[in-house]
């Protein structure tokens, strides 16, 4: 099999395009993991905040001596309030988590030098064949076959 210089160039460009696509796909996965971590941290913060806000509501409630009281109830009362905070935060009705998540993203963006506006793509110089591969979804084999058949 004898490849012309045009075919070799097209083959190289298609391989380059596939490499760029693979790098972009891994960056998207990393970005999604990072956003999931921010989301979890923001929801946890909202749950703790809500728990602290509802504690005073339960401080004035007296326990029934026949069915409760003691150190055990004090401990489990705190755990119950934490679960109430988590449940309220899960509804998303308070809205603190979304603000916290946006702020975490902004802070991380500034820490990274302010260039984190679009982490889903990387900007590398591309060629005509590489652009054709990424926009048309053609594989390396199809581009190579087209180049061979064009001769």
Structural domain count, the chain? 1
The DSSP result for 4-59, as a single string, is: -HHHHHHHHHHHHHHHHHHHHHHHHHHHHHHHHHHHHHHHHHHHHHHHHHHHHHHH
What pLDDT band is residue 138 in, cutting at 50, 70 and 90? low
- For 135, the domain range is 5-150
pLDDT tens, 95-127?
899 999 999 989 988 888 865 444 333 333 334
Per the structure block, which two tokens stand in for 110?
Answer: 């500034």
- The whole-number pLDDT of residue 42 equals 93
Alpha-carbon torsion (14, 18, 23, 25), positive or negative:
positive
Does residue 33 surpass a pLDDT of 70? yes
Angle, vertex CA 63, rays to CA 57 and CA 64, nearest 5? 145
Q: How many CB atoms lie within 10 A of CB 43?
A: 19
pLDDT tens, 57-82?
988 887 777 777 777 787 888 899 99
Q: How many CB atoms lie within 10 A of CB 89?
A: 22
The answer to whether residues 58 and 76 touch, using CB atoms and an 8 Å cutoff, is no
pTM for the full predicted model: 0.54
What pLDDT band is residue 85 in, cutting at 50, 70 and 90? very high
């Amino acid at each position: 099999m004898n490849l012309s210089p045009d075919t070799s160039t097209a083959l190289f460009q298609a391989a380059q395009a596939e490499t760029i696509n693979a790098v972009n796909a891994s960056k998207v996965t990393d970005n999604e993991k990072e956003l999931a971590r921010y989301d979890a941290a923001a929801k946890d913060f909202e749950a703790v905040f809500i728990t602290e806000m509802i504690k005073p509501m339960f401080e004035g409630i007296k326990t029934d001596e026949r069915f409760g009281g003691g150190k055990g109830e004090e401990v489990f009362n705190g755990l119950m309030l934490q679960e109430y905070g988590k449940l309220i935060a899960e509804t998303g009705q308070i809205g603190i988590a979304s603000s916290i998540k946006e702020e975490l993203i902004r802070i991380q963006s500034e820490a990274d030098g302010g260039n984190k506006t679009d982490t889903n793509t990387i900007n590398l110089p591309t060629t005509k064949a590489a652009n054709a591969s990424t926009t048309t979804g053609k594989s390396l084999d199809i581009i190579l076959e087209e180049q061979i058949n064009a001769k």
